Amino acid sequence: MTDENSDLLDVIIIGTGFAGVYGLHRIREAGFRVIAVEAGDDVGGCWYWNRYPGLRCDVDSLEYSYAFSEELQNEWRWSERYAPQSEIQSYIAFAADKLDLRKDIQFNTRISAATYNNDAGNWSLETEAGETLRARYVVMATGCLSVPNKPDIPGLDDFGGQLVHSVQWPKEKLDLSGKNVAVIGTGSTGVQMIPLLAKEAKHLTVVQRTPAFCVPARNQQWSDERIEFWRQNFRELRETARNSRAGVLHEYGLLPAAAIRPEDQIADLERRWIKGGPNVLYGFNDLLMNHDTNELVSDFLRGKIADAVDDPEIAKKLMPYEYPVGTKRVCVDTGYYETYNRDNVSLVDLRSEKLQQIEKDGIRTEEGFYPVDVLIMATGYDAMTGALLAIDIRTSEGKSLRTEWGKGPQTYLGLGIAGFPNMFVVTGPGSPSVFSNMVLSVEHDMDWIANCLDHLRGKDFPSFEADPNAQEAWMDHVDEVARGTLLNRAASWYRGANIEGKPQKFMPYVGGVNTYQKKCRDIADNGYEGFLIGGVSEATSAEQGAG
Ligand code: NA7
C-alpha cells in the first residue's frame, strides 16, 4: 500500500442498526479492514432513534433477533413476545459489546456525500463535520424506515404549542398530563401510541386520513418453557423461517379460501384471531392475490371493529374500505379500538371532515376547532429510498443516484446498483426487505456481501457492479410479481405514495424470502451472474463483463 493510500480502508459500513452491527462483525471476521459510521451516539438504528410510547416490534422477539450466533441466542433472554423498543435497543447494544465492535464504530458521524472515483476504484465519503473517509467498498446499512415524513400541512409553521415527530421523540419524558394532545397519523406508530397517550392526556384528538386494519397483539411474557424450547431447537427453527415466504414462523395456510367450506373459513379466522398477532392474515394462501378472499378477511376484521367500538358512527369511521387488507401494513395493536370508547378521545376522520389548517393553538376542520397543546406527527417515513437519497451519491464520471432514481429506484436484487460500482445496499428496494423479518434479511444480505468481498479479494483494483441488463430484467421481475397481486391497489409507503412527488413504484420484492435467497445463492454460485467484475472504469468493466 502506498502512502497516499494509507487511509484507504477495505470497507466502510454506513449505519449501525441490526444490519451494520452484524455486517461489521461478519466483514471484520472475514479479515477486511472495516469500520462503521453512525449518525447517532449509540448503535440500534431505527430502535435507537424511535422511542415513542408503546413502540414495539410486531415480529416475535425470539425471531426478531440474530440467528448467526448460538451464544448470543442463549445469553440473551427476551421478556415478551413483542419486545418493547428499550429491550431491542439494549439487545443490539449487547451484541455490539459482546462482539467488541465499538472500537471500530465512529459515532456522531453523518455521511452527507459519497463519491466513487472510477479511475482509482474506491469511494470517498464526506461527513457533515467536513471529514473525508475512504474505502474500496461501501455498504449502505442505512435502513428502510429512518427518514421522517414531514408533510407540509397548511399552517403547521404557525403552531404555537409543542410539535413532536414520532421519529424524533425527546429523550427526556414528554409530560402530557393535563394537556390537549393531538396525533396526526394512524399507521403502526399512531396505533401503538394512541392507547397510551389517551391514558395520560387531558384530551386526545386523533386525526385520521386513512384507517388502518389492526389485529390484536395479545402480547405476553415468555415462559421459561418457551425460551428453553427455542434454545433446544434454535437451528431448525431458524432454518424453517429462512425457507418460508416471509422469513417468519407464521402458521401458513396452504389453501386458497375458495377451497375451504365457509363455516371452516370463519372458524379458522376466529382461531387465529384468538391466537393474536398477524396470524389471522396467513390462513389462506391467496389473501393478496384474490379479491374475494381479501374481502372475506377484510369483512372479518371490520366486524371486529364494530364489536370493539361502542359508538357505531365512530366504528364506521375506523373501518377501512378503500384498499384491500395487507396492501398497507397491518398494525398489531393493544387496546387501540377500545380507546375510542373513552370520554377524553375524539376522532377526526378527514374523509368526512376536511382539514382546513393548523392554527397557533389547535386544528381547524370544516366541522370545528380542536384545541391542541402538543401536536404529534405520526406521519411515517420516506421509506426504502429516503436514507439512500439523503446522501449525495455520485461517481467521478458524473452519475448521480438522485438523477438515476428520478423515476424510482433501480437495483439488481436490492444489493447492487448499475453505474455505482463497489457499493452494496442492505435490504434495498427490489429485495424482500420490509416484506420479511428484517433481522433475517439483513443477516442474509450481509453474509452474501461478505462472501462476495471474499470472492473479490486479491484482484487488482476490482470494480464490482450490477450489469444494467441484469438490473433491468430483475426490476421487471419485481414489478411483474407485484402486478400479479393486489398490492398496487393501495396508496401505500411500499409504493412511495405517502410522499408528495415521490415516483410511485412498488419497491419490495414480494416473490418470497425463500425464493429470493435461493436466487441470490444461485447467482453467487454462478460466478456472480449479472454483476460485472474487473477493470477500474465502468467502460472496461462492461467490456470485460460482456465478454
Ligand atoms: P405510516 O404507516 O406511513 O403511517 C403514517 C400515517 O400518517 C398514515 O395514517 C398516513 O395516512 C398519515 N399521514 C401521512 N401524511 C399525512 C398528512 N399529510 N395528513 C394526514 N395524515 C397523514 O407510518 P408509521 O410510522 O405509522 O409506520 C411505518 C412502519 O414502521 C410500519 O408500517 C412498521 O413497519 C414500522 P395515509 O395512510 O397515508 O392516508
- Do 493 and 380 meet the contact criterion of CB atoms below 8 Å apart? yes
- Residue 519 domain flag: yes
Whether 366 is covered by a domain: the verdict is no
- For residue range 475-521, list pLDDT tens digits in order: 999 999 999 999 999 999 999 999 999 999 999 999 999 999 999 99
Tell me if 195 CB under 6 Å of ligand 1. no
Cα–Cα distance for residue pair 434/493, rounded to 1 Å: 11
pLDDT digits (tens, 9 = 90+) for 221-280: 999 999 999 999 999 999 999 999 999 999 999 999 999 999 999 999 999 999 999 999
pLDDT over 50 (residue 53): yes
pLDDT of residue 539: 27
Which protein residue has the closest C-alpha to ligand 1 atom 14? 379
- Say if ligand 1 is within 6 A of residue 416 CB: no
Q: Write out the DSSP string of 210-227.
A: SPPPEEE----BPPHHHH
Any atom of ligand 1 within 6 Å of the Cβ of 44: no
Please write the tens of the pLDDT for every residue from 299-350. Answer: 999 999 999 999 999 999 999 999 999 999 999 999 999 999 999 999 999 9
Cα(328) to ligand 1 centroid in Å equals: 10
Domain presence at residue 51: yes
For residue 187, report the distance from its CA to the centre of ligand 1, in Å: 5
Higher pLDDT, 137 or 543: 137
Nearest to 491 by CA among 399, 342, 380, 417: 380
Q: Is the pLDDT of residue 461 over 80?
A: no
Cβ of 134 closer than 6 Å to ligand 1, yes or no, is: no
Instruction: Indicate the pLDDT class of residue 544, thresholds 50, 70 and 90.
Output: very low
CA dist., res. 213 & res. 302, Å (int): 8
* Distant-in-sequence, close-in-space partners of 97: CB < 8 Å, separation ≥ 6: none
Confidence check: pLDDT of 379 > 80: yes
Residue 521 lies in a domain: yes
Q: Is 214 in the pocket of ligand 1 (CB under 6 A)?
A: no
The number of the ligand 1 atom at minimal distance from the alpha carbon of 191 is 26
Nearest CA to ligand 1 atom 25: 380
Number of domains in the chain: 1
Mean pLDDT confidence for 437-462: 92
Q: Is the pLDDT of residue 547 over 60?
A: no
What separation in Å is there between the alpha carbon of 228 and the centre of ligand 1? Answer: 38
Q: What is the pLDDT of residue 166?
A: 96
Burial class from Cβ neighbours inside 10 Å (0-12, 13-18, 19+) for residue 264 reads: exposed
Condensed to tens digits (0 to 9), the pLDDT of residues 92-145 reads: 999 999 999 999 999 999 999 999 999 999 999 999 999 999 999 999 999 999
Is 153 near ligand 1, meaning CB less than 6 Å away?
yes
Q: What is the CATH number of the domain that holds 115?
A: 3.50.50.60
- Is residue 400, in this structure, part of any structural domain at all? yes
**Cβ of 147 less than 6 Å from ligand 1:** no
Does ligand 1 come within 6 angstroms of the Cβ of 151? yes
- Is residue 409 one of the residues assigned to a domain? yes
pLDDT bracket for residue 1 (50, 70, 90) = very low
Q: Is the CB of residue 185 below 6 angstroms from any atom belonging to ligand 1? A: yes
Task: Tell me which of 536 and 296 has the higher pLDDT.
Answer: 296
Measured in angstroms, how far is the CA atom of residue 139 from the centroid of ligand 1? 28
At 449 the pLDDT is 98
Quote the radius of gyration of the chain (alpha carbons, Å): 24
To the nearest whole number, what is the mean pLDDT of the chain? 95
Angle between helix 262-275 and helix 291-308 axes, rounded to 10 deg: 50
Q: Which residue lies with its CA nearest to atom 12 of ligand 1?
A: 185
Range of the domain at 495: 3-147+383-546
Q: How many CB atoms lie within 10 A of CB 448?
A: 19
In a domain, 228, yes or no: no
Q: Does 4 score more than 80 pLDDT?
A: no
Confidence at 458, pLDDT banded by 50, 70, 90: confident
pLDDT at 79 over 70: yes
The residue whose CA has the least distance to atom 6 of ligand 1 is 185
Q: What is the mean pLDDT of residues 441-456?
A: 97
In the numeric block, which cell numbers belong to residue 520? 441470490
Is residue 203 lining ligand 1, measured as CB closer than 6 Å?
no
Ligand 1 mean position, distance from CA 210 (Å): 9
pLDDT of amino acid 6: 83
Cα–Cα distance between 32 and 28 in angstroms, integer? 5
Residue 3 has pLDDT above 90, yes or no: no
Is residue 300 in some structural domain? Answer: no
Grid cell for residue 352: 368526512
